[in-house]
Chain A
């Protein structure tokens, strides 16, 4: 019978071709393949163009290493799936809090020796370096970027609501007033906060800290502190009394950025380095972006964060050595040497990628001041729109996130935030008491 045979033969051939195409090819011509993380899904082509330039430069200086860029986003399911498969890139980045979990799980390579050999182990800000050390002081990654929490705001919505985009709010009461005005005049959410994917707990912590709240004291969970209570009460009031928080309360990091870029949110708290991602991945119009310091009350602090370049523990020594070279060249040199800084800034600026986003130094203050001087000619982010932040951050000393079972506790807190925002009669005290109990169980168990 001709026809079924033909059909099957064609389909089989098709399938074989597709599967062969899917099979990964091994390393070619003796070069060491190094798979490195690049950007999250949806990033601009221009970002990849800039990366290609830098890839070329590195490969010129290191002719026996072949760099392969891999799309990469820090998302727990993606990470665990890739970890299970052993298909993580050889170099990837991890936020500070997750780094602790990973190194406790034994899922990061120990790089103490490599860091000390490179000679700048003592240049790191010791508080930040602490986030990547285990109990014995071994180092498991290279902190590459740090940020402080800041208040992001939409200048365009400010104008539409009759507010001055150059004088953003400086206290939580002002934030509330501004939010109300935006909601009334434009119908958009004046204020929003993240609520799911462990980001709800993260932002709740960040906002509690500004009111003097402390989530963990050693090995005791102190979630039911006054600062957190006040923050939840604040959410309740803005949501149910002022109705200035819109009507979407299932927002993770991507979701809230998307709403903000689409002009649906007036203000929210997030990392100070968010500008890069907003423009590159969420198509934000740079002209509407505003950044100021997060309002801090008497006795309060600012939460800091950042991420770390790390290596999976399962790589061979060759790959590890190459990975450290890449980390040093791509992430570290631009912080330490004029050549590195200029090279990086130029490549980014040429491809219209953000240069000069507000960050906190991972190394010491003088090194950072130097770096800013070097990249000055290439800065292309609208720093005047971020004046509030630059002016205010000098008076704020960031504190670290809670250390124990952070992501899991954040997930518990997600539910608390969601409850307060979706249930008018949510009992804040009861919710916090239960969350504290659950968090303590995690810490003890």
Chain B
């Protein structure tokens, strides 16, 4: 006999945003009290802060990216001789089409997306199942799993570089995973951090829900799929952000694994290789295009990003 476990209905988008805001770890006050804020000196300080923050963050944080956008459609001559001027020789839209067609930015862009998507699925699958087993199911070997996973956190990635490469290149069993996206996805999925943050979340889930499902006859997979996963949307969101961003930023490992087949390489690997054979303006246009994916993702999923980044701190603390 199957029983459905009823979860409260999903609030609408607007309502969810309001809930999100009220759930943000917003202190009703920080260092400054209401009384402090009335003081003239504090108000001036606030204005200064705004100036400092605004100036600093816009110029330093945003500035380089704005320059990139401007230079992506400037001619090489302009960029080299008058880098801070605004298009003295006019806007060179040809850069973008050259970047797209000659450098084939589109193809490598697609590879980058494909790699990130595959990584997302595989990493999440492995991390979620592992966290579920370690936290909820708790077989007798859970302890060993935990310890073994935790231990890898303390091994710096550098140690793995060469032997991992050899393992992927000439595995004791099975085919070589070089020039194959699995050679990127699988080793990267062996990531203890993702497992730990999801496990922590599972640990905090109300136990009664699982008990109730158990007594109703639900098996482990059913509980995973219909209870644990839906309830962990927040942490899965955070983990997804980490996974996708890490995938988009990865350089060394993909460049080693995909050395042999250019058509598989993501943009991040391809660009440095052809940088010397490409004119500066087209290079800049390619860089601008390749910044678009993470940028767009960030703008859409801002909240999840920032909450995830902050949560990382809470976990580390």
Cβ–Cβ contact A1 & B182, under 8 A: no
Report if A14-B176 is in contact (Cβ < 8 Å); known contacts: A22-B182, A81-B165, A85-B260.
no
Given contacts A14-B114, A42-B274, A262-B279, 9 further A-B pairs with CB under 8 A are: A11-B118, A18-B114, A19-B185, A41-B273, A85-B178, A87-B179, A254-B276, A258-B276, A282-B276
Closest to B260 in A: A87
Chain A residues contacting B182 (CB-CB under 8 Å) are: 19, 22
Cβ–Cβ contact A4 & B229, under 8 A: yes
Cβ–Cβ contact A15 & B259, under 8 A: no
A21-38 interface (Cβ within 8 A of B):
22-24
Closest to A18 in B: B114
A171-227 interface (Cβ within 8 A of B):
none
In Å, the complex CA distance between A41 and B261 comes to: 11
In Å, the complex CA distance between A224 and B180 comes to: 48
What's the nearest-Cβ distance from chain A to residue B196, in Å? 22
What's the nearest-Cβ distance from chain B to residue A120, in Å? 32
Interface string of B10-47 (1 = CB under 8 A from A): 00000000000000000000000000000000000000
Cβ–Cβ contact A254 & B277, under 8 A: yes
Cβ–Cβ contact B121 & A86, under 8 A: no
Interface residues on A, range: 20 to 34
Cβ–Cβ contact A42 & B278, under 8 A: yes
Cβ–Cβ contact A22 & B264, under 8 A: yes
Size of B's binding interface in residues, CB under 8 A: 36
Could you show 26 A-B contacts with beta carbons less than 8 Å apart?
A: A1-B226, A8-B121, A11-B117, A11-B121, A14-B118, A15-B118, A18-B114, A18-B118, A18-B181, A22-B179, A22-B261, A23-B180, A24-B179, A41-B274, A41-B277, A42-B277, A81-B256, A84-B165, A84-B166, A85-B169, A85-B259, A87-B169, A87-B179, A258-B276, A258-B277, A262-B279
- Most-contacted residue by chain A among B121, B229, B270, B280 (CB, 10 A): B121
Chain A residues contacting B270 (CB-CB under 8 Å) are: 41
Say whether B136 faces chain A, with CB atoms less than 8 Å apart. Answer: no
Report if A82-B259 is in contact (Cβ < 8 Å); known contacts: A18-B114, A42-B278, A258-B277.
yes
In Å, the complex CA distance between A18 and B170 comes to: 22
Cβ–Cβ contact A71 & B262, under 8 A: yes
A237-278 interface (Cβ within 8 A of B):
252, 254-255, 257-258, 262
Say whether B230 faces chain A, with CB atoms less than 8 Å apart. Answer: yes
Say whether B304 faces chain A, with CB atoms less than 8 Å apart. Answer: no
Say whether B109 faces chain A, with CB atoms less than 8 Å apart. Answer: no
In Å, the complex CA distance between A110 and B112 comes to: 41
Chain A residues contacting B165 (CB-CB under 8 Å) are: 81, 84
Chain B residues contacting A18 (CB-CB under 8 Å) are: 114-115, 117-118, 181
Chain B residues contacting A11 (CB-CB under 8 Å) are: 117-118, 120-121
Say whether A78 faces chain B, with CB atoms less than 8 Å apart. Answer: yes
- Most-contacted residue by chain A among B76, B178, B276 (CB, 10 A): B276
Chain B residues contacting A81 (CB-CB under 8 Å) are: 165, 256, 259
Cβ–Cβ contact A15 & B180, under 8 A: no
Chain B residues contacting A262 (CB-CB under 8 Å) are: 76, 279-280
Cβ–Cβ contact B117 & A15, under 8 A: yes
In Å, the complex CA distance between A41 and B114 comes to: 22
Chain A residues contacting B76 (CB-CB under 8 Å) are: 262
Closest to A81 in B: B259
Cβ–Cβ contact B176 & A12, under 8 A: no
Say whether A281 faces chain B, with CB atoms less than 8 Å apart. Answer: yes
In Å, the complex CA distance between A14 and B226 comes to: 24
A280-317 interface (Cβ within 8 A of B):
281-283
Closest to A19 in B: B181
B265-294 interface (Cβ within 8 A of A):
270, 273-274, 276-280
Say whether A70 faces chain B, with CB atoms less than 8 Å apart. Answer: yes
Chain B residues contacting A85 (CB-CB under 8 Å) are: 169-170, 176, 178-179, 259-260
Chain A residues contacting B178 (CB-CB under 8 Å) are: 85, 87
Cβ–Cβ contact B121 & A22, under 8 A: no
Q: Which of A15, A71, A281 contacts B121 (CB 8 A)?
A: A15
Closest to A257 in B: B276
- Most-contacted residue by chain A among B122, B169, B277, B278 (CB, 10 A): B277
What's the nearest-Cβ distance from chain B to residue A27, in Å? 14
In Å, the complex CA distance between A1 and B225 comes to: 9
B162-203 interface (Cβ within 8 A of A):
165-166, 169-170, 176, 178-182, 185
Cβ–Cβ contact B181 & A22, under 8 A: yes
In Å, the complex CA distance between A23 and B174 comes to: 13
Chain B residues contacting A41 (CB-CB under 8 Å) are: 262, 270, 273-274, 277
Chain A residues contacting B274 (CB-CB under 8 Å) are: 41-42
Interface string of B238-263 (1 = CB under 8 A from A): 00000000000000000010011110
Chain A to chain B: the 7 pairs with minimum beta-carbon distance, closest first? A42-B277, A254-B276, A15-B118, A85-B169, A85-B178, A18-B114, A87-B260
Cβ–Cβ contact B276 & A255, under 8 A: yes
What's the nearest-Cβ distance from chain A to residue B46, in Å? 43
In Å, the complex CA distance between A22 and B176 comes to: 12
What's the nearest-Cβ distance from chain A to residue B119, in Å? 8
Cβ–Cβ contact B170 & A86, under 8 A: yes
Chain B residues contacting A24 (CB-CB under 8 Å) are: 179-180, 261
